[in-house]
Amino acid sequence: QLQLQESGPGLVKPSETLSLTCTVSGGSISSSSYYWGWIRQAPGKGLEWIGSIFYSGYTYYNPSLKSRVTMSVDTSKNQFSLRLSSVTATDTAIYYCARRGGYSGHDDRGYFDYWGQGTLVTVSS
């Protein structure tokens, strides 16, 4: 059974960089069939996609966050990571990593079928 687990600091100071890692177990991150992604949820709010990455390192990001987001992948450790720079209180959220399944095309990029349990990141001084 595929499992994903987020890890990283639960508290980040304003203007600093949020860094999270997702460890994948029960399957290979190097599968050519899947992308991997980060989604966040502010307290009491809905879901917001942050970005997605392929094992080759190809990425695509939410345009509204693109200037602050960097994602990377480490196939040797079966992990992928998120860095979000210049954080503010509005970046306080539960951050989920997830596997993206389905088609990969211009008009269709599928769904998120496996999710980590999520990790709460609070931005505060």
Site string for other proteins, 33-62 (x = CB under 8 A): -------------xxxx----------x-x
Q: Map residues 65-104 to x or -, x wherever contact with other proteins holds by CB under 8 A.
A: -------------------------------x----xx--
Q: Closest CB to other proteins among 16 and 65? A: 65
> For residues 58, 21, 18 and 117, what is the CA-based torsion angle, rounded to 10 degrees?
110
Tell me if 110 sits within 8 A of 37, measured CB to CB: no
Say whether 12 sits in a helix, a strand or coil: strand
CB 35, min distance to other proteins, A: 11
Separation CA 116–CA 125 (nearest Å): 27
- The yes or no reply on residue 8 touching other proteins (CB under 8 A) is no
